[in-house]
Amino acid sequence: MKKVAIYGQSYSISAEKEIQTLLKTLKEHNIVSFIEKEFYELLIAGNNLDEKHPTFSHFSDLDASFDVLFTLGGDGTILRAVTYIRDLNIPILGINTGRLGFLATINKTAIKESIHLLLNGDYTIQERTLLTVKTDPKTNKFSELNFALNEVTIARKNTTSMIGVKTCLNEEYLTNYWADGLIIATPTGSTGYSLSCNGPVISPDSKNVVITPIAPHNLNARPMVIADNTQIKLTIDSREKDFLISLDSRITTVEKNTIVYIEKAPFTIKSIIPKNQSFLQTLRSKLLWGEDTRNETNL
């Protein structure tokens, strides 16, 4: 490992100690650290850096010569960092200075240990599926950022009324969901918005996506797991003239009756899993599976 990129939320600094620990540890191993420009300027303004570092501010500033992209924050930070990586095949390692952290799994107290594991090759690479969106088979409304690591969500706009989402899989009609919206989630996104809408947890290495309705009018409308090579076609009907499509944290407005096409992206995101981490371990710790707090003493 010779060169890395570092990305953090540019609007706040809440992990000064962790940032300094990361940079110091990388410097000890003669690793050059490039820092995202807005995040770097925030660090400079807060006097959180002891020396100058090269920066990056755009997808084009990175290339395959970078060994790792470190993120400092929570899962939302990783979702934003993905827009810099795209199809460059730069692996991501997330240091969790946020809250839940299904993607950013490295504890902020284990930064040195995690870097040493990386340098010793004690890790695996987990490839994570992304989804792409088009509103016409030939024309892409969403510019070059038409991909999502977590989920694509169809949602109502400016109304309390439900919307109808006519859903076809590989050109075969499935159903018309009458609901507040519809979530198409990857295995990575199955522990996000979809989970809060009663969707299932899916292992990251599964070749599936899940369709999860949001507050459906028909109570027999349940989440459905399908193969990730399925082509999904959605036609939205709404009392308002527009509806919303979100790709992770990016949102755009689309006219009703627009046909939306969703399918698996032609590239994946590489997630670094140190040998002392696992998805099942993360589930147990984040969702408190197996924990019994009934006999705990209130302090």
Give the tens place of pLDDT for each residue, 248-259. 989 999 888 889
Q: Looking at the domain assignment, is residue 101 inside a domain?
A: yes
Which CATH number fits the domain that encloses residue 79? 3.40.50.10330
Q: What are 17-64's pLDDT values in tens digits?
A: 889 999 999 999 999 999 999 999 988 887 878 889 999 999 999 999
Catalytic residue among 63, 75, 205, 248: 75
Q: Looking at the domain assignment, is residue 185 inside a domain?
A: yes
Let me know if 117 is exposed, middle or buried by CB neighbors in 10 A (0-12, 13-18, 19+).
buried
Q: What are 111-148's pLDDT values in tens digits?
A: 999 999 999 999 999 999 999 999 865 555 566 679 99
Verify whether residue 180 is a known catalytic residue: no
Q: Which of 45-49, 106-110, 174-178 has the highest mean pLDDT?
A: 174-178
Q: Alpha-carbon distance 197 to 51, whole Å? A: 46
Tell me the HSE value of 249 on the side-chain side, using a 13 A CA sphere. 9
Same domain, 156 and 108: no
- Please determine, for residue 97, whether its predicted confidence score (pLDDT) is greater than 60: yes
Q: Alpha-carbon distance 151 to 210, whole Å? A: 9
- Please determine, for residue 80, whether its predicted confidence score (pLDDT) is greater than 70: yes
Q: Are 84 and 71 in contact (CB under 8 A)?
A: no
- Into how many domains does the chain fold? 2
Range of the domain at 157: 131-266
Q: Looking at the domain assignment, is residue 292 inside a domain?
A: no
State the chain's mean pLDDT as an integer.
Answer: 90
pLDDT for residue 16: 80
pTM (predicted TM-score): 0.90
pLDDT grade for 12, boundaries at 50, 70 and 90? low
Tell me the HSE value of 139 on the side-chain side, using a 13 A CA sphere. 5
pLDDT for residue 142: 60
